[in-house]
Structure 1
Amino acid sequence: MQDNSPARHRSSRRRALPLAIGAGLTAAVLVAGMGAIANAAETPQADAGTGTLAAPALVGWATQNGGTTGGGNASPITVTSSSALISAMQSSSAAVINVSGTISISGMQKVASNKTIRGVGSNATITGGGLNIANATNVIIQNLNFRNASDDSINVQYSTNVWLDHLDMANGYDGLLDIKRTSNFITVSYVHSHDHDKNMLLGHSDDNSAEDTGKLKVTYHHNWFDGTGQRNPRVRFGNPVHVFNNYYSNIGDYGVASTENAGVLVECNYFENVEDPYHLGEGSSDAGSLVARNNHKVNSGAGQTGGSVASIPYSYTCDTPSSVKSIVTAQAGTGKI
């Protein structure tokens, strides 16, 4: 779904601002690596689907607002066709849906509230169309490949408490994973995105501040942005948006952009061959705020920071930044849980 501003040309109005960390940022990151907080991202839980997967514990914004449980303890069903998948995920009842094999869908198909949709094994794939998480709450999408979507691979709008985890996404048409229009309390984790330009958009247009201010709180952690040209992510209005422990490799245009009063905390990431790891403003969008700390860079630019970012309300632990590449490449994508 289209972003209304130019994508590839940065605004000349971007400027360096004084660096300041928002007051009240949690002490959790100050003790990272000291054992004071368990690394929840690597703690297994019992699987509610096939009984063969061990899902990592949820970390980040999707833990807030009552948490995100998807279909919960609903008896799992396995689907192998588009009709069965669409019927199950659009049902008004809570459901745990196991996707087996490759399923071709057309257009953007809606996902209703209280759903867990997860792939079986490493080859479960949705192709041809995308998932539209719209006007929904409490949704988990996990362990799926997405290929050749005719629009977005995943679009989230007017929705809360969504966890998008251990996905492999490539060769979309517009965005691979876009989040917009008042959506809130979302975690994107262990996603391997590649072979695509416009990767992850957060906030669809500059003129949507009335809806989006105070919303669009998203955590991106342990994702592998693998040659994706831009929007890794591109952020409007959300504050704080938390980007930590991600691996950026061979990014052609830019990594993270903070625009339109957004506040983005970029920390403990690994940037390799990224000339522009993060900056303020993008296209016709005015600068937001961005705080960067404890990032590891190999053959990469300095990045641009400025302003302050609101407090992170949840506990988390940063992996050692120099170890993020090995951790993420081993764990991101499908077939890893």
Structure 2
Amino acid sequence: MKVRSRLAIAAVAATVAAAMLHAGTANAATLFQDDFNDGDSAGWTTSGGTWSVVADGTPVLRQAGTSSDARARSGSAAWANYTVTARVKLTAVNGANRFAAVLARAQSNTSYYYLALRTNNTVELKKLAGGSSTTLASAGVTVATGSWYTLSLTVSGTSLRGSVNGGAAVSATDAQFATGQVGVATYNAAANFDDVLVADAGGPSPSPSASGSPSASPGPSSGPSASPSPSPSGPPPNPPGPGQPDGFATVAGYGQATTTGGAGGPTVTVDTTEEFLDHIARTGPYTIQVSGTITLPTGTTDGMHDVSSDKTIVGLGSTARLVGGGLNIGLPISDAVTSPPANAVHNIIIRNLSISGASDDLINVQMFSHHIWIDHLDLSDGGDGALDIKRGSDLITVSWNRFHDHDKTTLVGHDDANDAQDTGRLRVTYHHNFFDRSDQRNPRVRFSPLVHVYNNYYFDNSYGIASTNESGLFVEGNYFFSVNNPGRVEFSGPLGRMVERNNILVECNHPIEVRGTVTDPATFYPYTVDDPASVPAIVPAGAGVGKI
């Protein structure tokens, strides 16, 4: 380990410990760190390529060759359970589908686990054994030369997990390598590496935020009572600012880095039905500003009107309304399609609108649609769902909306038999929504590996949240007032999974039910949880229209 000043070592240790806590591992200790600011790469063993320490703003370790494999390894061969993190920037490539990577449990130059950032816009969790590679898991992520990315690879027991910039998470299990060094590598590519950190993962253990033990949420009560579950210790740095998407809508995947809506396209203002329907169906990015009340026809499609990719639909002022019909985000339904098609509808923002009176859903999201932000809406009086998310749709944020005068509010996953399309998808963030006497499904979830529900205000509901079909619900910092069943895993259909922490229940007839383990959302994106005691004040004041 390179020796730095005591102040620098302490800062690095604190940073790594905080990051490891959000990854579900407590008591992280720094095993190794190198920022190359001393101008050399002492302690690193290289193979292939051309390695040197050069300036890129600050000193970095550069591999300049593009004609072959190149690797640099450091650390102890006895290290077992740890997270290795490094900043990585591809600077040149020789051919297609090249990569830069971080290595873990390296036995030699031809045997190790690695997380590869590839120029075909994927991140791959792989194993190299005796020079033969195996892909263990992969995910989509936008990759550009000249841009910095933070790669993080955790090895703990037989569990392997990688992420890019805190998102695009990939995971697998493998038992071939139990210990080994860390490293960085390139394949027919030149790259810069910086800020290499290794933190002790402490061996496989349950996440402190993913307890399977019985919940200690309060039962019926006439006064406020907070759950004694552990509170979050603070978010990763740099959550999005006001007016920006956050949560799962910002996580890279399916070739899309984040949600931008109609950014980069023309801005138009519409105040007639014809203008509105014309522009939401057009190809290419548009920002569509809605002025006044627009009546949507019922027609032969139950009043559902298709929105095409790359659109921002935003109301002007506090009086923009859509009445009589709803919005459909997604391709036509096909049970035969079980993986995301290339033309899946994506990159849509809908904000600052009142939508009411549809004979079917107010908003329907279906057929692998992704990167969608639903924000500051007033949703009421729909014939079926207020906001339904189904059939493999993914990476969606629902924030600062008011749901009222509605029964079946928001469904995530429509059917117990739809596992082929839904399993591993349907990842949604719900935060700072006002479920104002909305009776049920706030939300009701099937199959999703993670739906994050935080800082929502539940007021006088039959039930709040339901988890079935092994879906994972992470419920934190919410305020439930007069809710018969705040959170349920014993519902119609197979059981779900639910973890809860730091919720407040007032005049509720049952506690929040918990079961199983659920991944901490901070693994995927940064966020800040407000004090749940403040939720009854800040959410009604900030949710709905006319407040952006």
| TM-score normalized with structure 2 length | 0.53
Change (3 A) 1:335 1:274: same
Of 242, 247, 255, which aligns to 2:457?
A: 247
Counterpart mapping for 1:34-49 below 5 A: 37=237, 40=240, 43-44=241-242
Counterpart in the other structure of 1:129: 325
SS of equivalent residue, structure 1 residue 271: strand
Is 2:338 the partner of 1:149? no
The residue identity in structure 1 corresponding to 2:288 is I
The residue identity in structure 2 corresponding to 1:149 is A
User: 1:38 offset after TM fit, Å?
Assistant: 5.5
Does structure 1 conserve the Cα–Cα contact (< 8 Å) formed by 2:293 and 2:323?
Answer: yes
SS of equivalent residue, structure 2 residue 232: helix
Q: For each residue in 1:176-220, what CA deviation from the matched residue of structure 2 results, as whole angstroms up to 9, or x when unmatched?
A: 000000100000000100001100000010000011101000000
Does structure 2 conserve the Cα–Cα contact (< 8 Å) formed by 1:19 and 1:307?
Answer: no
Counterpart mapping for 1:254-333 below 5 A: 254-283=463-492, 285-300=493-508, 301-312=510-521, 313-333=524-544
Counterpart in the other structure of 1:101: 292
Q: Distance in 2 between matches of 1:94 and 1:20?
A: 43
User: 1:97 offset after TM fit, Å?
Assistant: 0.0
Q: For each residue in 1:58-83, what CA deviation from the matched residue of structure 2 results, as whole angstroms up to 9, or x when unmatched?
A: 22000012110000032210011111
Of 222, 227, 230, which aligns to 2:437?
A: 227
Change (3 A) 1:204 1:20: farther
Q: Distance in 2 between matches of 1:308 and 1:314?
A: 19
The residue identity in structure 1 corresponding to 2:275 is A
Q: Distance in 2 between matches of 1:19 and 1:36?
A: 17
Q: Distance in 2 between matches of 1:188 and 1:36?
A: 21
SS of equivalent residue, structure 1 residue 30: coil
Q: For each residue in 1:123-173, what CA deviation from the matched residue of structure 2 results, as whole angstroms up to 9, or x when unmatched?
A: 100011100001410000000001111100000012000000000011111
Q: Distance in 1 between matches of 2:237 and 2:484?
A: 33
The residue identity in structure 1 corresponding to 2:244 is A
Counterpart in the other structure of 2:33: none
The residue identity in structure 1 corresponding to 2:489 is L
Q: Distance in 2 between matches of 1:195 and 1:97?
A: 27
Is 2:309 the partner of 1:113? yes
The residue identity in structure 1 corresponding to 2:266 is S
Is 2:232 the partner of 1:30? yes
Q: Distance in 1 between matches of 2:520 and 2:207?
A: 15
The residue identity in structure 2 corresponding to 1:311 is D
Q: Distance in 2 between matches of 1:194 and 1:101?
A: 21
Q: Distance in 2 between matches of 1:298 and 1:22?
A: 24
Counterpart in the other structure of 2:427: 217
The residue identity in structure 2 corresponding to 1:317 is T
Change (3 A) 1:288 1:148: same
Q: Distance in 2 between matches of 1:77 and 1:279?
A: 44
The number of residue pairs the alignment matches comes to 298
Which one has the largest radius of gyration?
2
Does structure 2 conserve the Cα–Cα contact (< 8 Å) formed by 1:280 and 1:305?
Answer: yes
The residue identity in structure 2 corresponding to 1:274 is V
Does structure 1 conserve the Cα–Cα contact (< 8 Å) formed by 2:236 and 2:526?
Answer: no
Question: More relative contact order in 1 or in 2 (CA 8 Å, sep 6+)?
Answer: 1
Does structure 2 conserve the Cα–Cα contact (< 8 Å) formed by 1:19 and 1:305?
Answer: no
Q: Distance in 1 between matches of 2:262 and 2:490?
A: 38
| Amino-acid identity (%) | 47
Counterpart in the other structure of 1:82: 273
User: 1:303 offset after TM fit, Å?
Assistant: 2.0
Q: Distance in 2 between matches of 1:281 and 1:233?
A: 15
User: 1:19 offset after TM fit, Å?
Assistant: 11
Of 386, 389, 401, which aligns to 1:176?
A: 386
Change (3 A) 1:72 1:19: closer
Q: For each residue in 1:23-65, what CA deviation from the matched residue of structure 2 results, as whole angstroms up to 9, or x when unmatched?
A: 9xxxxx7323xx874664xx33xxxxxxxxxxx2222000012
Does structure 2 conserve the Cα–Cα contact (< 8 Å) formed by 1:62 and 1:186?
Answer: yes
Does structure 2 conserve the Cα–Cα contact (< 8 Å) formed by 1:37 and 1:317?
Answer: no
Write out the 4+ residue segments of structure 1 that deviate beyond 3 Å after TM superposition: 18-23, 35-40
The residue identity in structure 1 corresponding to 2:359 is S
Does structure 1 conserve the Cα–Cα contact (< 8 Å) formed by 2:239 and 2:526?
Answer: no
Q: Structure 2: which 5+ residue stretches go unaligned?
A: 1-205, 212-230, 298-302, 331-343
Does structure 1 conserve the Cα–Cα contact (< 8 Å) formed by 2:265 and 2:284?
Answer: no
Q: Distance in 2 between matches of 1:192 and 1:39?
A: 23
Q: For each residue in 1:217-259, what CA deviation from the matched residue of structure 2 results, as whole angstroms up to 9, or x when unmatched?
A: 00000000000110000000111110001000011x2100000
Q: CA RMSD in A?
A: 1.8
Of 226, 238, 246, which aligns to 1:59?
A: 246
SS of equivalent residue, structure 1 residue 255: strand
Change (3 A) 1:63 1:39: closer
Q: Distance in 2 between matches of 1:272 and 1:326?
A: 13
Q: Structure 1: which 5+ residue stretches go unaligned?
A: 1-17, 24-28, 45-55
Q: Distance in 1 between matches of 2:232 and 2:471?
A: 23
Does structure 2 conserve the Cα–Cα contact (< 8 Å) formed by 1:19 and 1:306?
Answer: no
Change (3 A) 1:171 1:278: same
